Structure 1
Amino acid sequence: MLSLYKGIGLLAWTLSLFEGVNADALGDLQTKGRPAISAQLAKSTTCTAAKLQVRKEWGDVSIADRKAYIKAVQCLISSPSKLPAGKFPGAVTRYEDFVVVHMQQTLKIHGTGSFLSWHRYYTWAYEQALRNECGYNGTQPYWDFGKWQDPENSPIFDGSDTSLGGNGKKVSHKATFVGPAQNGGGCVETGPFANMTIRLGPISPMADPAPPRNPKSDGFGLNTRCLRRDIGPYLPTRATTTAQMVSLITSSKTVGSFQDTLQGGGGFGGAGGIHAGAHFTIGSDPAGDFYTSPNDPGFWLLHGQIDRLWTIWQSQDLPNRIQVIAGGTSMMGGGVAQKLTDTLDISPAASMVIAIKDLVSVTDGPFCYVYE
């Protein structure tokens, strides 16, 4: 663990070289790429300017729209599962259907060629469920990691009635391999998701105290417990800064280097990766388990930002960064090279089986949205 802390310390020192990066530098790159996105939209046969949806950072979403989003998420949490009765005992709600899909496919969608496209499709499918099943009229918000260096006091996690719930109750707990103990560790007791029930998993928990074992080895058994978080400033100031995100976009010349750097070179768990850094910023249970992480409502804002980063990277050289892919089909290094013609199936989260090549543009295929 000490060696990891030293490694993260080295990362922080490296990032200090970029201290001059403007807080709005990521937005500047987004603005720079906007004409390319507009040109792509003009060529689309499925997306038009009239249908275009705009995704916003949670801090820029109006109070009324935040409340509407929260209400829709709570609707999914209170709606019955559509999975076969008895097959997944821990999946009681429609929300948990999405968690099951992620659990089933985790080793095929992290550290693989489908990581970016799969999570784009998955996050969009969740957005569609909020809209089509729960009456939500808005879009999926995102969490700009660099904007909130103290996430516990951000509008996302401050525990107000327009947040995604607060930090976990502060309890005595130990460091994990991702960093020292932060400001929570216990059950979330404030905000709209206070006392939220978690039933699935764990499978690969990275939390202290450890969550109770699932009665089924595959993690799909009924394992009722509370939503826990351990939010603090340690990782946001070391692994998910604006400087690091700007460097990711400007330094990555291929989709392979972009996705590997984003994930820290090790799928979900690379210590230096922005993706892992954001997950472990929420931490504890279930966010600290890369199989069951969607069971925390913060997951969807997190992956909105991951998709935004990919979109910005693509837009810097869009004609050469759309129909490109790199990586294999297995996180463990097995399988074969991933192809653009490979299909993704995330049922029952969404019914369409879609080729990766149709998931690479935010203004084509099933998608019709941009980031603001």
Structure 2
Amino acid sequence: MKKHYLFILLCIFTLFINCRGDESATVSDPGSTAVKTGKLTGKVMSQNGTKPIGGASVFTFDEKYKIYYTTSDAEGNFSLEAPVGNHTIHIQTGNGSNFRTEISAQVKDNETLALDASQTKLNQVAKIAYVKGTYDQIEDIIQSLGYTATEITNNDLANLTTISQYDIIFLNCGSRKYLIHQALYPAIDANLATFVANGGSIYASDWDVAYLVGGTDNTSACAPAGGFVPDAKLCSLNQGSSGIIPATVSNAGLAAALGFNTLNIDFDLGVWQKITNYDPTYWEVLVKDMSNNPLMIRTNHFTATGVPNTPVGNAPNTTFTTVCITLPGNIQISISVPQVLVPYLVALGATVGPCSGSSNSGYIYYTSFHNHASGNIGNAAGILQYVILNL
């Protein structure tokens, strides 16, 4: 009888175990459910289809607002893993506020969709202006990519209403002409400060550092009168000599976008502005010479007190907002997304504004080199194309 009792208990126990099975394998865990994905491939190109764009952000979101992200290589090629379904694919440079494209694509499970080159051209959203110079023409590079820029003058720089309609202003070397326009420069200094503090971006080359830090047509001493960048942040002296300068690309993103990290820069003028002192917490060095002297710097840390709150460029009409998202590996990216997505992304940990710098500041780029009037600039052309697309 006792044996029968033990047998019955053993059967009940065995039945109980068999009914439970392996709990970890049968209990559904929504967080571990595999997401069905496909791939999107393509080649990011400039608006006129002549130049591959390296370093462009390519991304989309799933229905839970998780980001799927990649970047284009130096030849513009990308391969993006994306969730199955109909999605908007975003292509952007910089933080996406000035150059971006949106594509609608149907992603199928375990299939690769090759996007047509006509779909992956990078569109110009920004309104761009330039001041004509003597020693270079950045407008030629802008136009060579298929984008447009409007010529303005020093008189226009003295008018805040005029410049506030633009997102980006390029200051060509030799455009300052201080002796002709010196009465305008207090207003120009104030307007450029207001422009950048409200999100506008500026690129200046060589002698036109004087727009940033003061001085006449160029600068021959630290802390000259005028300008809008604090004197302690930058000093540039007009003492560089002509010749070929070996250089390295010190910014990883720029090097990846270019496909090289060393180059020779031809300083073909008899004298050029040499950066002799800078605040490394304020400026990021993107290109330097072999002695670690900066040749190309940028900042988005500019702030100013007492400047008017002035809408700049497309800001009053845009439906996009810049956010900072942290990717796996603690990699942070600044991108622009439709405003309707912002609350959902913030709920997942994104923050409004760029990942670094002042939340309101535009970028200031400065290069001691420029595109020569002769057009013989070699690999520096790729760097200046990068500057244009990432302001």
Q: Normalized against structure 2, the TM-score is what?
A: 0.25
- The structure having more radius of gyration, on CA atoms, is 2
More strand per residue: 1 or 2?
2
Higher relative contact order (CA 8 A, sep 6+): 1
Structure with the bigger percentage of helix: 1
TM-score, with length taken from structure 1: 0.26
